[in-house]
Chain A
């Protein structure tokens, strides 16, 4: 499941989610607009439809399904009847009612809410993305619903309660980067959901006071459970360990377990002994609980890992003491995913571990390992597909531990690299260019030079050429995040060569409107564009009118937009919801601080808070 996390950020929907093309006049799209479910076809057509339905059972990719639904009405109906997984990338693009009316047999729902910049505090609290209306609509519309995955939604305890009570066959709940719920909601959910197989809490926000925390682990059914996945590493409060151990003991199907940092190594060992069949493990704290007893803990831990022959994914490692790291040696050669991104370890700590990890494909790490650590990774992990290097100290003037040197080393050692996220304090065009030539299979390239407007630290030039090389040489690139000192030239390159780019993140870059225009005019596949603090104004905004219906959203904050420009867009594109978000009520009405606009089948939402103005 953790591997799917990478996928969640790159939802590879080519042409949209449940609606397909917004080109005016397209029969099918027009048909679905507000109309009730179409009349049943004559008998002969029904036979054909049954045949098609049986074939379509095997079609799972939503891109393919979207294409199928465009063939003719008959296929549209058949596809609608057989779609089992519904993906909604923007909860405001469609209403629950419409979704339920079209797709009758959905068993699994993926729902995303707030724009991604909400993760960094750019979206005021209370903006929206409430799960409640969906929960109540689906309670009646999809009684057979089994799985829900939510990302960046506001989920309340009531919602969790409702889920548990409304869906007798509910099997799996994944909640990513959401807020609004607490352990009280989890308790009700655990208690009422008798057939639960999956509960995964990923980077959610909890606001409880200590005295409000509820012992939810004890609420799981006391009989043998069907649990396969249980993840709560983001939970700030401790869980009842005895209850957890007992739960593990009566969950023979458990394969994935991710505990939070309150679980000590001793406790972890006990859990591992109960569940030697685990494939994915997230540890708690990885240090000695008491002074002076380290050796004993280490020895026991090693044997626990040695007994876990199926482990392929390791994460956690909060509060690491490096002498415990050797405990994982027995499993290193098997693991494909290793998440050290909370472990403050040096290159010296990392080297003996990474030396064993020949099969590693996904590696997340803190920049404390430095360029030297990355060189060690490059030397061993020839199969690496994804690398994420996070900063220990995410500030502009912190000491950087990784740089162009590490990036170059990775590019030389890990030729199969597909996805990289790299935070650093200094970079050169040469290193980026080298990566573009060595790692031709790159699909995701996200480079964050943390000091704003920082040029190439060797030549003093802007980073235009480096990013230009990336878009030029990496033909499969679909996601790009740029940083450093960038002129319009960089955007010229992106517009010219970035023909497959779907997601673009821009911050503190560009000189003029031309920058944005290059992108909007040049990138036909662009779906998600998020821009902050860049000098793009109304003329640039208007240059994208031809394309906005093909996009999921556009976010622009602290740019040079004015009210008039945004109103212009809103007027010319009636199916676009144009939201102007204000942080300060008394701010100048004419200048637009934050713009968030997205296509929608249902027009303006009715739950917008006062600081959101929909034009």
Chain B
């Protein structure tokens, strides 16, 4: 069925079977997020009946179109899966692939779909007087709104993530046009990588795209950790130890100093920073670490990611 769609990339789809196949879900990780234009395209393409209006007499068509409506306007699912934000990994159709909930959820997730079908058919009947208003709402939402509704109803995101108990940042406001979204910290354009230093529990994030050479990066690393390192050693003399600390950080890149800078690339390998051309480094580095130079050879044989049970100490190593 996908071949009938324009636009190539489609978020979650129910593969509606002209061939009477089972429901197939494509999850490309974009959740229920849909832009209005795409929704209209899809609602035309995937409708079994006439593409004219939403209020079809055919109940199966009705419920399907309401699926799209509800997933478009609300990007929510059934119990405990309200995700109202762009880039959420689970939208309505995530029910099929539910992974993380407890037994209660898994039991009911299948049933939820039926409930949703049932509810959506009932919904039309349930609203008598407000039908006009809510129908008008729905129409205005699907037709005119290029901006999905943010922050309504006013429930904290924390409260919406009931099932997993995960608490994510409140969703960034949607602008309907992802390319022109305001560039914020942690956005994709900046190349933020975590950097940890041995002996300091708190890591940092630095933006590689703001540097254009290894020297500048080395200076930045020094800047980030120098004060903290001093404070760790002796809080009361943190201010006066600057000169000494400066020396700690020389030779970061060539292995001559007390500390060395290494990075993990996209394949998980750890390498000394400075070997490859800067651009290549920036595009492959996923994480940085400042370690003692004496530990350099040890890195090679160490496991990449310690398992949970090994992770006892504060230091993230």
Contact = CB atoms under 8 A, between A and B. Distances in A.
* A and B: interacting chains: yes
Interface string A484-514: 0100000000000000000001011000000
A-B complex: 3 closest residue pairs judged by Cβ atoms: A120-B151, A395-B74, A121-B171
B216 to A, nearest CB: 22
Nearest to A158: B202
Contacts of A610: 182-183
A583 B194 CA distance: 27
A229 B173 CA distance: 35
B89 interface: no
Contacts of B122: 399
A587 to B, nearest CB: 8
A206 B156 CA distance: 14
A392 B154 contact: no
Given A399-B126, A453-B133, 20 more contacts: A123-B173, A124-B184, A125-B186, A126-B184, A165-B235, A184-B202, A188-B314, A211-B311, A291-B103, A318-B162, A319-B102, A394-B82, A396-B149, A426-B130, A448-B153, A455-B133, A532-B151, A583-B173, A583-B175, A584-B182
Q: Counting chain B CB atoms within 10 Å of each CB, which of A117, A448, A452, A505 scores highest? A: A452
A205 B158 contact: yes
A122 B130 contact: no
Contact of A234 (B85, B149, B167, B184): B167
Given A124-B173, A392-B79, A261 B152 contact: no
Contacts of A423: 153, 155
B312 A457 contact: no
Contacts of A396: 73-74, 134, 137, 149, 152-153
A215 interface: yes
7 contacts: A117-B154, A125-B185, A184-B202, A448-B154, A453-B133, A454-B130, A485-B133
Per DSSP, are chain A's interface residues mostly helix, strand or loop, or mixed? loop
Interface string A106-150: 000000000001111111111000000000000000000000000
Nearest to A157: B202
B268 interface: no
Contacts of A450: 152-153
Interface in A216-273: 218-219, 234, 236, 260-262
B104 interface: yes
B82 A393 contact: yes
Contacts of B202: 157-158, 161, 184-185, 188
Interface size class of A (residues with CB under 8 A): 35 or more
Interface string B158-175: 111010111111111111
Contact of A390 (B79, B159, B169, B308): B159
B76 interface: yes
Contact of B182 (A179, A319, A582): A582
B83 to A, nearest CB: 11
B104 A121 contact: no
Contacts of B130: 426, 451, 454-455, 457, 460
A448 to B, nearest CB: 6
A126 B134 contact: no
Given A121-B85, A215-B312, A287-B104, A184 B203 contact: yes
A426 B131 CA distance: 12
B191 to A, nearest CB: 17
A204 interface: yes
Contacts of A583: 173-175, 181-182
B246 interface: no
Contacts of A584: 175, 177, 180-182
Contacts of B152: 120, 396, 450, 452, 507-508, 532
B117 interface: no
A260 B165 contact: yes
Nearest to A399: B119
A390 B182 contact: no
Interface string A374-401: 0000000000000000111111111100
Contact of A215 (B79, B137, B154, B311): B311
Given A121-B84, A203-B167, A214 B235 contact: no
Given A117-B151, A391-B155, A205 B170 contact: yes
Nearest to A206: B167
Given A185-B202, A455-B130, A121 B150 contact: yes
B150 A120 contact: yes
B157 interface: yes
A457 B151 contact: no
A383 B164 CA distance: 34
Given A119-B156, A158-B202, A426-B130, A287 B102 contact: yes
